[in-house]
Chain A
């Protein structure tokens, strides 16, 4: 009973933080509430027995991502989150509540509890059985880094007008040469559009 209470409080607090994150005035507060969600979720995960995942979630979710958000918001954010949404709020509410209720209907009857571990060890599962996942993660991180560099690159300076003129002149000359070489015989490859029927 106590256990369920603890879980209930933690999960409830996480949902509360999420809702506060939704309704925050400024982006910075939103990001801080997100960090709160992250911390609470990581505590719940720890209580469920997945210690390593909880640590990773805490350090990455509540640490790295929050710092990232704060940095990005300080550079890019700042205004315009108080605008009206495109979708009427009642519609959004009703849809969400409807799906939520149905989901709860499905979730409540699940009678399961923490069962005993049936696998060898996390290390074997992680490094050997799921080695393909590791490959995927490496590829993801690599592409993420490349993407970051690519997206944040400075835009190339537009070509100066003099160079543009130079290229155009070269093209003119080349076309002229081709016309002279082709002569008169092979000069009508495309049929004219005079059709009457």
Chain B
């Protein structure tokens, strides 16, 4: 049964992608229908898989001695990722029914989105490092193809290439790590590696730990490799919601969480993860504060929240990080989809040209506020519980400076979220009158996500249980939902952070009186708007890669004689090697 579910979870979106392509772009209604039905079916199959989690592999495909065995192991970490990918994916697809109406290349869009959803589910469920790398690469490709979806726009294409190069360079770290693991442990299976990690000599283990960390940083857009995410906002908004907020960027968090038990003994690794998380949380929040483009602000917010998850793994709270991953996926997708409703209605992505939409778009306003409550971390929404759990763990286990940093991040989050809500929905209307207040399917998916915001925190106990049962190497203690909630609500850290949140919101409300401070901080703000110089670093990486490929392009002349020269040359090299070996 579990085998069938795993196959359905990964296979249904892929089959749906194939059918959408085969239907052709002349029948858009059929394409919308096929995509929605298949993605919803995949979502249901992923949720049912929750009942069948286990710590044994349920499907093994032997691939010969070189590639090992491709196994699928639906344990709690993986199934969580699959459930998020499939359900949020299906909601994004439903949203796209209205968002992408009239687009001529619907087949390409839906096929890529569904292909991505299946690959993301596979990334979580796979039990072999090589299989995980395969799915990792598929998600990177789909992300690139979807960012440059409007491929007649050079900005979109450049953003896609940038995302591709940065995440792929991280992927090299993953591949190298997988090969090293195989050579020492003898198998690509993650469970085998986690069990027998002491076979690996210590310096190699350190190298492995940091290779994987680099891959995770690149994929999750953490500092210093974060600049691809704001630029990736050129993608159609459902894509931004799905890929760049709810699923693909979680792959990095998943990676560090999965390998935490092995790497925590490497000195400096957990501290590095913690520092990366803290820096991203703070920098993301600061850059969101000065961003004028709504989607860019949300992208910086994603970077910041992912920093919280990295911080949680850094202090050893794997469950907290996964819980926040779940909450964040839902409320961030919600916020992005609201942006997807607002932006076409108003005709601009610039928040300075929005305003006063509270009266003309009441539905979207309500839903956006719900998402903001979750993002800030106010007690009714799921974001409160997960973020407070992280802060509580941080209070108990992290060095004090790190905890203070994260606390400042909480305040800054409250500040920039209030700014976003105010600039878009309050004040006087500056731009055009919005055309609609969310079309039918848009509203459907927004309602579903809002429902999720209020209810997924109840699943904390279930998630905790599943993780304790199916993750033999992580040290997860199972406590029930009620105890968890009580613990969070009564912890001192919670009260401190609620106070900081109030401070943040208050700062925004009283901004006129604080205008003097704001003016003096203006040059600092300009520094943040330009990305603090990280942009140059990332652009440098891109340029080096492009120049290198231009140089290597010269060897691919296409001339028959040069190709034969390559063949004969290799032949003589091999013969010489054999000769020397003799």
> Which residues of A come within 8 Å of B, CB atoms?
85-87, 91-92, 95-96, 98-99, 102-103, 105-106, 178, 182, 184-197
How many residues of chain B get a CB closer than 8 Å to chain A's CBs?
39
A66 CA to B345 CA, complexed, in Å: 73
A50 CA to B121 CA, complexed, in Å: 57
Name the residue of chain B whose CB is nearest to the CB of A97.
B572
A189 CA to B236 CA, complexed, in Å: 10
Taking a contact as CB atoms closer than 8 A, the residue among A85, A105, A186 that contacts B98 in the complex is A186
**Does B565 contact A87, Cβ atoms closer than 8 Å?**
yes
Q: Can you list 20 A-B contacts (CB < 8 A)?
A: A92-B565, A95-B565, A96-B568, A99-B568, A99-B571, A102-B576, A105-B579, A106-B579, A184-B435, A185-B439, A186-B101, A186-B102, A188-B345, A188-B347, A189-B103, A190-B103, A191-B237, A194-B348, A195-B296, A196-B292
Residues of A contacting B569 in the complex (Cβ-Cβ under 8 angstroms)? 95
Residues of A contacting B236 in the complex (Cβ-Cβ under 8 angstroms)? 190-191
Within 8 A of A (CB), among B77-136: 98-103
Taking a contact as CB atoms closer than 8 A, the residue among A86, A99, A192 that contacts B572 in the complex is A99
Known contacts A189-B101, A190-B236; 15 further A-B pairs (Cβ under 8 A): A85-B561, A87-B562, A95-B569, A96-B568, A182-B102, A185-B435, A185-B439, A186-B101, A188-B345, A189-B103, A189-B344, A191-B349, A192-B347, A192-B349, A194-B349
Name the residue of chain A whose CB is nearest to the CB of B559.
A86
| Nearest CB of chain A from residue B530's CB, rounded to whole Å | 10
A190 CA to B344 CA, complexed, in Å: 7
Residues of B contacting A189 in the complex (Cβ-Cβ under 8 angstroms)? 98-103, 344
Residues of A contacting B292 in the complex (Cβ-Cβ under 8 angstroms)? 196-197
Instruction: Say whether B521 faces chain A, with CB atoms less than 8 Å apart.
Output: no
Residues of A contacting B579 in the complex (Cβ-Cβ under 8 angstroms)? 102, 105-106
A196 CA to B344 CA, complexed, in Å: 16
Residues of B contacting A92 in the complex (Cβ-Cβ under 8 angstroms)? 565
Instruction: Say whether B529 faces chain A, with CB atoms less than 8 Å apart.
Output: yes
Taking a contact as CB atoms closer than 8 A, the residue among A184, A190, A196 that contacts B293 in the complex is A196
A91 CA to B435 CA, complexed, in Å: 71
Given contacts A95-B569, A95-B572, contact A186 B439 (CB under 8 A): yes
Taking a contact as CB atoms closer than 8 A, the residue among A95, A186, A196 that contacts B568 in the complex is A95
**Does B572 contact A98, Cβ atoms closer than 8 Å?**
yes
| Nearest CB of chain A from residue B110's CB, rounded to whole Å | 14
Taking a contact as CB atoms closer than 8 A, the residue among A91, A186, A191 that contacts B343 in the complex is A191
Residues of B contacting A178 in the complex (Cβ-Cβ under 8 angstroms)? 102
Residues of B contacting A182 in the complex (Cβ-Cβ under 8 angstroms)? 101-102
Name the residue of chain B whose CB is nearest to the CB of A178.
B102
Name the residue of chain B whose CB is nearest to the CB of A185.
B436
| Nearest CB of chain B from residue A100's CB, rounded to whole Å | 9
| Nearest CB of chain B from residue A152's CB, rounded to whole Å | 22
**Does B237 contact A86, Cβ atoms closer than 8 Å?**
no
Given contacts A87-B561, A185-B435, A196-B293, contact A102 B348 (CB under 8 A): no
Name the residue of chain A whose CB is nearest to the CB of B100.
A189
**Does B344 contact A188, Cβ atoms closer than 8 Å?**
yes
A186 CA to B296 CA, complexed, in Å: 25
Residues of B contacting A102 in the complex (Cβ-Cβ under 8 angstroms)? 572, 575-576, 578-579
A91 CA to B566 CA, complexed, in Å: 12
Residues of A contacting B435 in the complex (Cβ-Cβ under 8 angstroms)? 184-185, 188
Residues of B contacting A186 in the complex (Cβ-Cβ under 8 angstroms)? 98, 101-102, 439
Residues of A contacting B25 in the complex (Cβ-Cβ under 8 angstroms)? none
| Nearest CB of chain B from residue A30's CB, rounded to whole Å | 17
Residues of B contacting A96 in the complex (Cβ-Cβ under 8 angstroms)? 568
**Does B155 contact A193, Cβ atoms closer than 8 Å?**
yes
Instruction: Say whether B358 faces chain A, with CB atoms less than 8 Å apart.
Output: no
Given contacts A86-B561, A99-B572, A102-B579, contact A197 B293 (CB under 8 A): yes
**Does A191 contact B344, Cβ atoms closer than 8 Å?**
yes
